[in-house]
Amino acid sequence: MPRLLTLGLAVAGGVVADLGFPGLDLWGLSFVGVAMLFLALGRDSARWNTLVGFVWGLAFFVPHLYWTAIVVGPAVAIALPVLEALFVALFGAAWSWARRGAVIWRSPALQVLGFAVLWVAVEELRSVAPFGGFPWGRLAFSQADAPLLRLAWLGGVPLLSAVTAAIGALLAVALLALREVRVLRTLTSLGVLVALVFVGLFIPVGTRAEAGTLRLGAVQGNVDMDEPDPWKRQSGVVDNHAAGTRALLDEVEPGDLDVVLWPENVTATDLADDERSAGVVDEAARAIDAPILLGTIEYPTENTRFNTSVLWLPGEGIDQVYRKQRPAPFSEYIPLRDFARRIAPIVDSVSHDMVGGDAPGFVTIDSERLDREVGLAVAICFEVAYDWVIREGVLAGGEVLVVQTNNVTFGYSDESVQQLAMSRVRAVETGRATVQISTVGVSGLISPNGAVSHRTELFTPDQFTATVPLRTSITPAVRLGQYIVWAFAALGVAVVVAGAVGARHVRRAGRGRMLS
């Protein structure tokens, strides 16, 4: 394939892969985009494939993360796709070395396995580095509507991403075999591909209550974007959520609910110092006669802050606190501030760097109806993308998963629906009913099998009540989560090393046609 055509294929592949994610949400196109990358990486040169991977990565991440420009401007926003594309470039180089070994080079099946393993290993690397990583855009998050979704119960996001990548590689293998009129290989590849697409349907995902049920309310209060004064607009957010809480009384009586869920950043002030906002919260909690879990901010020092979720008891105040563990770099805090300021002075609008908490996302509510304490696993905003944050909250005793978020700054972009897809994957991965609650939407109520039973619209006040199952069993994905990550990382390194060592037994000229 001519080099220019190869680069064109890489560009097209990245764009097509993005179309598999929300909001177009054509999940099958993720397979096609990966297949196009597999084909584009057909040359033997690691340096060339580094470029091909980088081009594919840019074509994927620029549209996938376009919403970041709404917050930090285009100059800063382009840096994130470039950084993430560098990991795909690394994948391109690593794949070139991995497949050079005689064993993988001669076996299409091992190429598919090696490709998938190495893809996940690189995904896991970019999920932890640099600055704590940015796991957005992992292939697994494109599969919330696909039959594959149930694989998350078994092996979490790593397994779901691996099978998605393997299906893409199988599609490429089938196309190459078809070009060479290898009927048996074509049919075998397509048969395995179809089997993988539907294998998740055979995994039993439990949805029944194991420890009773929880009666909850959720409030999406909305933000008045027509208010020109930012301080009045912000102070109005807590009023909107209080009004939405009182509106729940059209459906329930005071005391009927075990807890009411409000989103992240309902107040941008510390409730310990903001008497007005604290009074509004307490009046709402007294009216509904239930604790309220809401997002607020704490300022431990003059230059730092916590993104905090607090459980407010009616008439008593703050009972428990969860502090976000993974603040978002260049948004909630600014790494390398002096350097970043030279590129984009807008970074100084973040005057207080957010610091991370050191305790799992977990709070308990005292349910008189159940005569016991009920554990809630809590994640704040982007933390839904981090496996370990979700896993810790469930292992601490979370029987329901709550994802609190504030999407107002991202407008009508795809960010919120991308986040809802992640919450759906987490519901299956953890076997927990999940509530994503946002200030402006999209909010959603998700069953443990990933089905959405209630979904709100963007920039629309809404509230709902629900009875959700409480579940205490631990899924294989949660129980073995860190071991699964280590296994993929170790296998990824082994594939590359084995390929590099095995390349000594294959003449370079003989590696030109990978699947001959």
What phi and psi, each to the nearest 5 degrees, are found at residue 3?
-60, -40
Instruction: Taking each helix axis as running N to C, give the angle between helix 481-502 and helix 151-179, from 0 to 180 degrees, rounded to the nearest 10.
Output: 30
Copy the structure tokens of residue 280.
Answer: 């509004």
Given 84, 324, 332, 415, which residue is catalytic?
324
> At 354, is the secondary structure helix, strand, or coil?
strand
Copy the structure tokens of residue 201.
Answer: 């349907």
Q: Which residues are 317's β-sheet partners?
A: 313
The contacts of residue 463 (CB under 8 Å, 6+ apart) are 217, 218, 219, 220, 244, 245, 247, 248
The contacts of residue 211 (CB under 8 Å, 6+ apart) are 399, 470, 471, 472
CB 307 within 8 A of CB 301: no
Residue 381 a catalytic site member? yes
Half-sphere exposure of residue 12, counting CA atoms within 13 Å on the CB side? 12
Helices (H), 307-460: 337-343, 387-395, 415-430
CB 445 within 8 A of CB 435: yes
Copy the structure tokens of residue 439.
Answer: 């200030």
Given 123, 264, 399, 429, which residue is catalytic?
264
Residue 84 a catalytic site member? no
Helices (H), 433-480: 476-479
Q: What is the DSSP letter of 475?
A: P
CA distance 18 to 60: 6
What type of residue sits at position 434?
A: T
CA 385 to chain centre: 3
State the pairing for strand pair 362-367/452-455.
unpaired
Burial 5-43 (b: 16+ CB within 10 A, else e): ebbebbbbbbbbbbbbbbeebebebbbbbbbbbbbbbbb
Given 332, 381, 383, 415, which residue is catalytic?
381
Q: Of all residues in the chain, what percent are helix, strand and coil, respectively (each to 5)? A: 55, 15, 30
Copy the structure tokens of residue 124.
Answer: 């896991």
CB 429 within 8 A of CB 475: yes
Residue 332 a catalytic site member? no
> At 65, is the secondary structure helix, strand, or coil?
coil
> Which residues are tagged catalytic?
264, 324, 381
